[in-house]
Structure 1
Amino acid sequence: MDSLDSLHHLIQNHPLIDNHAHNLLSCDVAADYDSYPLESITSEAHGRALENARTTLPLLRAVNQLGELYGTPCANWDDVLAAHTRWVQEDYDGLVRRSLEGTHMLLLDDLLSDEDVESYEWHDQFTSSPTKRIVRIEAVAASLLRDIMSVERKPDESVWSIFRAKFLDALDHAMADPAVVGFKSVICYRTGLDVNPYSPDEDLLTASLHRTLDSGTRKSGYRVEEKPLNDWLVQQTLKLITFRKRAGVVKPLQFHTGLGDNDINLVKANPAYLQPLIAQYPDAPIVLLHSAYPYTRDAGYLACVYPNVYLDLGEVFPMVSREAEEKILRESLEITPINRLLWSTDGHFFPETYWLANKQFRQALETVLVDYVEKGDYNITQAKAAAADILFHNSNKLYSLNQTAQYTPEIIQGAPLLSDARVSQTSDLLGAFLQKNPDIEYIWMQWIDFTATTRVRIFPLQEFIRIARKERRIGISLAVQCMLQDDTVTPGGSTTGQFYMEPDLSSLYRNESMAAPAAASATVMSFWRSEEGVPLNGCPRTTLGNIVTKLHTTHNIDVLCGFEIEVVFLKPLTSHQTGEVTGYASATKNHSWSQMTADTRKMIPILEEINQTLETMGIHLQQFHAESAPGQFEFILPPATPLAAIDALVAARQVVTAVAERHGLRATLHPRPFPNGAGSAAHTHISITPPAREDVFLAGILNHYSSIVAFTMSQDASYERVRSGIWSGSEWVAWGFQNREAPVRKIEPGHWEFKSVDGVANPYLAVAALLAGGLIGLGENLSLAVKECTVDASHLTSAERAALGITTPLPKSLAESLAALSEDEALQGILGGGLVKNYLSVKRAESERLQSMADDKRQLWLLERY
Structure 2
Amino acid sequence: MPHGRTPEEARAEARLTAARLSGEGVVALALTWVDNAGVARVKGVPLQRLPEVAVEGVGFSPVFDVFLVDDAVTTSRYLGGPDGDLRVFPVLDRAVALAAQPGWALAPGERYRQDGLPHPACQRRFAARMVEAAAERGIAFRAAFETEWIVQRAADGSYPTDGPAYGLHRVTDCSDYLRDVLLALEAQGLTVQQLHPEYSPGQFEVSVAAKDPLGAADDAVLVRATIRGVSAQHGLRASFAPAFEPDGVGNGGHLHLSAWRDGHNLLAGPAGERPAGDGASFLAGVLRELPALLALGAPSPASYLRLVPSHWAGCFRCWGVENREAALRLIQGADDQANAEVKCFDQAANPYLAVGGVIAAGLAGLDAKAPLPEPVQGDPALLPPERQPPRLPTSLDATLTAFRTSTALRDALGDVLFEAIAAVRAAENAAYAELPPEDLIAATRWRY
CA contact (8 A) 1:543 1:768 kept: yes
1:588 maps to 2:171 = no
Match of 2:272 in 1: none
Match of 1:604 in 2: 175
Match of 2:359 in 1: 771
Match of 1:285 in 2: none
Match of 1:791 in 2: 378
Match of 1:737 in 2: 321
Which of 671, 677, 688 matches 2:242? 671
Equivalent-residue separation in structure 2 for 1:738 and 1:601 (angstroms): 30
**What residue identity is the alignment partner of 2:328?**
V
Match of 1:489 in 2: 73
In structure 2, relative to structure 1, the CA distance for the partners of 1:781 and 1:410 (3 Å cut) is: farther
1:369-389 C-alpha deviation (Å, 9 max, x unpaired): xxxxxxxxxxxxxxxxxxxxx
1:758 maps to 2:346 = yes
Which of 528, 540, 550 matches 2:111? 528
CA contact (8 A) 2:26 2:47 kept: yes
1:48-95 C-alpha deviation (Å, 9 max, x unpaired): xxxxxxxxxxxxxxxxxxxxxxxxxxxxxxxxxxxxxxxxxxxxxxxx
Equivalent-residue separation in structure 2 for 1:412 and 1:643 (angstroms): 20
CA contact (8 A) 2:18 2:48 kept: no
Identity %: 28
CA contact (8 A) 2:98 2:104 kept: yes
**What residue identity is the alignment partner of 2:365?**
G
Give, in angstroms, the shift of residue 662 of structure 1: 1.4
Match of 1:410 in 2: 8
Give, in angstroms, the shift of residue 855 of structure 1: 5.1
Equivalent-residue separation in structure 2 for 1:706 and 1:853 (angstroms): 23
Q: Give the TM-score normalised by the residue count of structure 1.
A: 0.47
The structure having more radius of gyration, on CA atoms, is 1
**What residue identity is the alignment partner of 1:711?**
L
CA contact (8 A) 2:245 2:441 kept: no
1:572-614 C-alpha deviation (Å, 9 max, x unpaired): 465xxxxxxxxx3433222212x211x4411111011011011
CA contact (8 A) 1:679 1:728 kept: no
Match of 2:218 in 1: 647
Give, in angstroms, the shift of residue 627 of structure 1: 0.9
Match of 1:566 in 2: 148
1:837 maps to 2:419 = yes
CA contact (8 A) 1:776 1:827 kept: no
Matching of residues 352-501 of structure 1 within 5 Å: 410-411=8-9, 428=13, 431-432=16-17, 434-435=19-20, 437-438=22-23, 439-468=25-54, 470=55, 472-492=56-76, 493-501=80-88
CA contact (8 A) 1:591 1:600 kept: no
| Corresponding residue SS for 1:673 | coil
**What residue identity is the alignment partner of 2:44?**
I
Give, in angstroms, the shift of residue 848 of structure 1: 2.1
CA contact (8 A) 2:98 2:105 kept: yes
Q: Which runs of 4+ in 1 moved over 3 A?
A: 407-413, 851-858
CA contact (8 A) 1:547 1:772 kept: yes
CA contact (8 A) 1:738 1:745 kept: yes
Structure 2: 5+ residue stretches without partners: 267-276
Equivalent-residue separation in structure 2 for 1:664 and 1:688 (angstroms): 41
Match of 1:718 in 2: 303
In structure 2, relative to structure 1, the CA distance for the partners of 1:800 and 1:855 (3 Å cut) is: closer
In structure 2, relative to structure 1, the CA distance for the partners of 1:430 and 1:762 (3 Å cut) is: farther
Equivalent-residue separation in structure 2 for 1:430 and 1:508 (angstroms): 12
Give, in angstroms, the shift of residue 856 of structure 1: 4.5
CA contact (8 A) 1:477 1:499 kept: yes
| Corresponding residue SS for 1:734 | strand
Match of 1:504 in 2: 91
| Corresponding residue SS for 2:174 | helix
CA contact (8 A) 1:630 1:677 kept: no
| Corresponding residue SS for 1:500 | strand
Give, in angstroms, the shift of residue 792 of structure 1: 1.5
CA contact (8 A) 1:739 1:790 kept: yes
Equivalent-residue separation in structure 2 for 1:486 and 1:787 (angstroms): 42
Match of 2:270 in 1: none
In structure 2, relative to structure 1, the CA distance for the partners of 1:738 and 1:856 (3 Å cut) is: closer
CA contact (8 A) 1:587 1:630 kept: no
Which of 819, 823, 827 matches 2:401? 819
Match of 1:622 in 2: 193
In structure 2, relative to structure 1, the CA distance for the partners of 1:432 and 1:409 (3 Å cut) is: same
Give, in angstroms, the shift of residue 456 of structure 1: 0.9
As a proportion of its length, which structure holds more helix?
Answer: 1
CA contact (8 A) 2:254 2:346 kept: yes
Q: How many residue pairs were aligned? A: 426
Give, in angstroms, the shift of residue 701 of structure 1: 0.7
In structure 2, relative to structure 1, the CA distance for the partners of 1:600 and 1:677 (3 Å cut) is: farther
CA contact (8 A) 2:242 2:250 kept: yes
Match of 1:159 in 2: none
CA contact (8 A) 1:737 1:746 kept: yes
Structure 1: 5+ residue stretches without partners: 1-11, 14-100, 103-406, 414-425, 575-583
**What residue identity is the alignment partner of 1:496?**
D
**What residue identity is the alignment partner of 1:768?**
G
Let me know the Cα RMSD of the aligned residues: 2.2
Match of 2:278 in 1: 693
Match of 1:384 in 2: none
Matching of residues 300-319 of structure 1 within 5 Å: none
CA contact (8 A) 1:563 1:638 kept: no
**Between 856-865 and 670-679, the greater mean CA deviation after superposition:** 856-865
| Corresponding residue SS for 1:743 | strand
1:429-462 C-alpha deviation (Å, 9 max, x unpaired): 7515633642321111111111111111111122
As a proportion of its length, which structure holds more strand?
Answer: 2
| Corresponding residue SS for 2:326 | coil
Give, in angstroms, the shift of residue 464 of structure 1: 2.2
